Amino acid sequence: MSHDATPPRLPPKPIIGLERLAGVCLVAFGLFAYYASSELPFFTQGGVGSGLLPRSLSVLVTLMGIIQIVVTWNEPQETTGRWPIRDMLPVLLGIFLFAVTIRGFDFGAFKVPVLGMAVATPLAIFCSGLAAKDVRVGELAIFSVVLSAICIALFRYALGLSMPVAPWAIGY
Amino acid sequence: MLKNITRRSALLAGLAMMSAVALPAAAQDYPSKPVTLVVSYAAGGGTDAIARVFAARLETALGGRVIVENRPGAAANIGTDVVASADPDGYTLLVGNQGPMVVNPHIFNLKNDPAEALDPIAMIADASLVVVVGPRLAVKTMEEFLAKAKEGELIYGSAGNASASHVATLLLGQTADIALKHVPYKGAGPAVNDLVGGHIDFMVTTIPSVIGLVGDGTLTALAVTGTERFPELPDVPTVAEAGVPGYSASAWYGVLGPKGLPEDVRARLTAATAETLSDPEFVAKLRNDGGVPSTLSGQAFADFMASERARWGEVVESAGIKVE
Amino acid sequence: MIDMFQNLGLGLSVALTLNNVFFCFIGCLIGTLVGVLPGVGPVATISILLPVTLALDPTGALIMLAGIYYGAQYGGSTTAILVNIPGEATAVVTALDGHEMAKKGQAGLALGLAAIGSFIAGTIATIVIAAIGVPMTRLGLLFGPAEYFSLMVMGLVFAVVLAHGSLVKAVAMILAGVLLSCVGADMETGRERMTFGLHMLSDGIEFVVLAMGIFGFAEIFKNLADPEKRDVVRTSIGRLLPTMRELRENVGAILRGTGIGSILGVLPGNGAILGPFASYAMEKRISKRPQDFGTGVPQAVAGPESANNAGAQTSFIPLLTLGLPPNAVMALMVGAMMIQGIVPGPQVIERNPDLFWGLIASMWIGNLMLVIINLPMIGLWVKLLQVPYRLLFPSIVAFCCIGLFSISNEPAQVMLAGLLGLVGFALWKLRFEAAPLALGFVLGRLLEEKLRQALIISDGSMLTFVTSPLSAFLLAIGAVALLIAVLPTIRRSRDEVFKDA
């Protein structure tokens, strides 16, 4: 966890540039939202239709994107830097595993049974914890079990939230 | 709090032991595990409050735990789907009200039709609504109200599109043949606020949401929508008495299970609900909240739902409410 | 005046009975807990506890429920400051500079200022309720849909002021936020909009899901991408409590925040959410170094936190004087009163003076308790930041997942928040700010609702927004604030153009 040891390199030349890319993203989002709301009526006999706000906002967002591209066109551009998707993946997977196990999930091809908090919570903690560069697997395993027990006691019993705990063992 | 946890963990340990030796559940042991009472709304609404008070009392009557589970979404249709697709073993029940049970089938293309996929067990309560006017429309009686309404379009607020308050007003407009303009709100609270502030003309809303303001004279109650007068408002006539013959509307709540409940489980639940509804303390709480305990169960409840469904079907159809 | 003190005396005599002090304490404790836990809000907690409170006497029950409400407001800022997860819309503003302070090793100072600011705000707001609660009710009633719409427009302008980077990007984020708030069933026709047939979107995107995604999860992703920064937070902790000098520097912000929050709290339909960022905008406006806002300025925590707490307190006014609930928690309080056999409305003050004044007095006691509970806790919270990050972030993931699931018992919400976390990370990479997006989202809902209601009432005439004096006034303030925010940017870019030439 010391400071980055790699010697300073010259920044790579940006392909599109951070600020221009930001504008492009806005345009893409605006156009997508316009497409998604294109079937909604703008006005109804009585007044404002359900499409008025979404569609005019999509146009405005697109417009802001264009302005962003124009005003930053001549500015010196930076790259967006590294996108450490690999470092983030365990966390995303942990969140996903929690979601599919807590109350079961139907993928069509196969079904995940209702495993409840007793399985979903330690899975989420352990899996996401693997994202740390300084991970200690043994410590993380013990930690995930202990913290899960605390979570179950806190959310299910102290706060009385109605979540499945371990239906396969204790019925709910 | 602490005491509660120990009691519950003791219960948990007990349950764990029980289920370890559990045989396929026979109805005599029903309930052998906690019963889930599904509420189709997020925690904090009116149906949720009724369900929670009901669940607490039902636990005693059934002699087992009853857990309220909120499954909101898709105009309360998700809750219907959850219970419709659950095993019909009596461990997953629904607290339904007129919205998802009899109005929504006319408005949405539903995955599960409540009349076919659900088994009505018993009705819990029936709550009359009340027609109230605020300072913007200074009338004192239903007669004056109807006269004013003939002169020009009145503006009314509702607790939301297709809510009890909305459809009851639609029915009023259709029965009395008056033109009305609808302003939907998110819940009764903000609508009543605008009624008191004089931004809208009138509302048909639940009695608890306005009774304090009626008592004070801030709002005027013109009529109640049920077939009988409300005990707390003895001087307020019913809409039918006050010049719109044949009119009645109410918000009601009932317990339903998935289709195909075993007869003995259903009998057990019917008896437990009846026991709960005869508890004076529970009844008092219902009445405080504007509700009248119901005696309908089984087939009678199913018949009631069918007639309500036909009735509201006509109302929403002629109002042209339909969601693609 | 004498009446007021007599009444408060009566209230104190009710609130200070052993039973009621106990209920107040329990309420504040539970409230702090659910406030700190992301995703579990006071609404769910109060409705779960509703059957339990039926066994209590009405005054005790309501004192406890009220304690949960303001305790949760308070606990929410702790999470916002420490781990950048605003559990409620109001905490978004606190997170802006509060979390930056925590990153600089000033978590103790931020939490201390929040606690003391909240206490001062709570004390003043209690007196405000007792002294002018009844006349203030009228203020809320002046706001019909047209006035409310104009207020929201003004709020969106404040959201521009809030941003500290590029103006174009800030405006784009606000608009995108409003756009996101349109997702879900149309309130007038029930027709689904931009939901792509997904059930979980049919009621719109939950604020908590959005916030946990673009703030909570995104923050974890940022830290994983950039581990060195994270270590700085852990190594320097700083002092735990503010010094007298720091208090003096912030007392102005606290008092201004209290004033703004108290007024906006009375508004129906979550008007209180405007309080914190009206306060933030004001502090930034009058600050000598507005460019520092967003990098951890104490006044930017003290002011909005005070506004938040004052608003939470005064939102009881419409409930107590008219029985009108301005937000979901207050609606639950109405339910709790009804079930207990107390008719909420103008008569409560005459028929149940014990309850009325007892509840008001208990708010002050509750605020005192919150300080007593929380000041010693600050040390503990700050210690929490010293937990190795490799264990801290999996814990945050777990708490967030459970909280997200508890909103509607729907696993899809957890996944959606995960995806929004990626979006938040991308926004950070592209140097967009997430706060204007969140604020646009919160205000957008009300904006559209009120716009449409106003136009139905006015038969489609836009004139309704200027014929109402109050509405016209609010729009004018918004226009002026926008000009003030935009002019320097335009002038600057013009200067740059001339410089280039």
- Give a yes or no: residue B238 inside a domain: no
One domain for residues B160 and B121: no
Instruction: Delimit the domains of chain A by residue range.
Output: 18-71, 85-170
What's the gap in Å between the CA of A159 and the closest CA on chain B? 9
pLDDT (tens digit per residue) in B135-185: 999 899 999 999 999 999 999 999 998 899 999 999 999 999 999 999 999
Do residue A157 and residue B5 have CB atoms under 8 angstroms apart? Answer: yes
- Find the distance separating the first CA and the last CA of chain B, reported in whole Å: 48
Residue A45: per-residue pLDDT: 67
pLDDT confidence band for A8 (50 / 70 / 90): low
pLDDT confidence band for A7 (50 / 70 / 90): low
pLDDT (tens digit per residue) in C113-146: 999 999 999 999 999 998 888 888 888 888 899 9
For the residues of C230-276, what is the DSSP string, one character each?
Answer: HHHHHH----SS--HHHHHHHHHHHHHHHHHHHHHHTSTTTGGGHHH
pLDDT confidence band for A63 (50 / 70 / 90): very high
CATH of the domain at B92: 3.40.190.150
ipTM of the shown complex: 0.91
Nearest to C328 among B44, B184, B289 (CB): B44
Mean pLDDT calculated for residue range B277-289: 89
Mean pLDDT calculated for residue range A107-134: 92
Residue C495: per-residue pLDDT: 54
3-class secondary structure, B292: strand
C319 touches chain B (CB under 8 A): no
A-B C-beta contacts closer than 8 Å: 30
Q: Is C231 exposed, middle or buried (0-12, 13-18, 19+ CB in 10 A)?
A: middle
- Give a yes or no: residue B21 inside a domain: yes
- Give a yes or no: residue B190 inside a domain: yes
B69, B156, B181, best to mutate vs chain A, most A CBs in 10 Å: B69
Distance CA A58, CA C380 (A): 46
Residue the block writes with tokens 């209590």: C56
One domain for residues B109 and B195: no
- Give a yes or no: residue B239 inside a domain: no
Domain membership of residue B151 as a residue range:
129-224
Residue B15: per-residue pLDDT: 44
Distance CA B270, CA B277 (A): 11
pLDDT confidence band for C382 (50 / 70 / 90): confident
Subunits with 3+ C-beta pairs closer than 8 A to B: A, C
A-C C-beta contacts closer than 8 Å: 203
Give, to the nearest 10 degrees, the angle between helix A85-102 and helix A117-129.
Answer: 180
Q: What are phi and psi of C386, to 5 degrees?
A: -85, -10
Chain B 44-83, residues with CB within 8 Å of chain A CB atoms: 67-70
- Give a yes or no: residue B1 inside a domain: no
Distance CA C431, CA C419 (A): 18
pLDDT (tens digit per residue) in C243-292: 889 999 999 999 999 999 999 888 876 667 889 988 998 898 888 888 88
Q: Report the length, in residues, of chain B.
A: 324
Shortest CA distance to B285 belongs to which of C334, C333, C338, C56?
C338
Residue C173's H or E segment, with its range, is helix C167-181
One domain for residues B119 and B259: yes
One domain for residues B20 and B105: yes
Using left for φ > 0, alpha for ψ between -120 and 50, and beta otherwise, residue B75 falls in: left
Nearest to C188 among B184, B194, B200 (CB): B184
Question: Of B209, B224, B239, which residue is a domain's last?
Answer: B224
Do residue A134 and residue C390 have CB atoms under 8 angstroms apart? Answer: yes
pLDDT confidence band for A14 (50 / 70 / 90): low
Taking contacts as CB-CB distances below 8 angstroms, the residues of chain C near B1 are 26, 30
pLDDT (tens digit per residue) in C466-484: 999 999 999 999 999 888 7
What's the gap in Å between the CA of A108 and the closest CA on chain C? 16
Tell me the three-class secondary structure of chain A, residue by residue: CCCCCCCCCCCCCCCCCHHHHHHHHHHHHHHHHHHHCCCCCCECCCCECCCHHHHHHHHHHHHHHHHHHHHCCCCCCCCCCCCCHHHHHHHHHHHHHHHHHHCCEECCCCEECCCCHHHHHHHHHHHHHCCCCCCCHHHHHHHHHHHHHHHHHHHHHHCCCCCCCCHHHHCC
Q: What is the domain count for chain B?
A: 2
B2, B6, B15, B180, best to mutate vs chain A, most A CBs in 10 Å: B15
Residue A64: per-residue pLDDT: 96
Residues B226-249, buried b or exposed e (16+ Cβ, 10 A)? beebbeebeebbbbbbbbbeebbb
* pLDDT above 60: residue C498: no
* pLDDT above 70: residue A147: yes
Distance CA A114, CA A104 (A): 4
- Give a yes or no: residue B232 inside a domain: no
Nearest to C228 among A3, A143, A144 (CB): A3
Tokens of A50: 């359900």
Q: Report the length, in residues, of chain A.
A: 172
Fill in the amino acid letter for B78: I
Shortest CA distance to B129 belongs to which of B67, B101, B171?
B171
Global pTM reads: 0.88
Question: Of B224, B259, B286, which residue is a domain's last?
Answer: B224
Residue C256: per-residue pLDDT: 96
- Give a yes or no: residue B71 inside a domain: yes
CB atoms within 10 A of CB C237: 17
CATH of the domain at B220: 3.40.190.10
Residues B255-286, buried b or exposed e (16+ Cβ, 10 A)? bbbbeebeeebbebbbebbeebbeeeebbebb
Do residue B199 and residue C457 have CB atoms under 8 angstroms apart? Answer: yes
Shortest CA distance to B295 belongs to which of B263, B273, B265?
B273
B19 touches chain A (CB under 8 A): yes
One domain for residues B108 and B46: yes
One domain for residues B123 and B25: yes
Q: Is C57 exposed, middle or buried (0-12, 13-18, 19+ CB in 10 A)?
A: middle
pLDDT confidence band for C496 (50 / 70 / 90): low
One domain for residues B101 and B23: yes
Nearest to C338 among B69, B78, B208 (CB): B208
Residue the block writes with tokens 């330690």: A122
pLDDT (tens digit per residue) in C430-442: 999 998 999 899 8
Q: Report the length, in residues, of chain C.
A: 501
Q: Tally the C-alpha atoms within 13 A of residue B110's C-alpha that lie toward its C-beta.
A: 23
pLDDT confidence band for A158 (50 / 70 / 90): confident
- Give a yes or no: residue B216 inside a domain: yes
Do residue A161 and residue C168 have CB atoms under 8 angstroms apart? Answer: no
Mean pLDDT calculated for residue range C100-111: 88
CB atoms within 10 A of CB A107: 8
B137 touches chain C (CB under 8 A): no
Residue A119: per-residue pLDDT: 96
pLDDT confidence band for B234 (50 / 70 / 90): very high
Please say whether the beta carbons of C301 and C114 come within 8 A. yes
Residue B24: per-residue pLDDT: 43
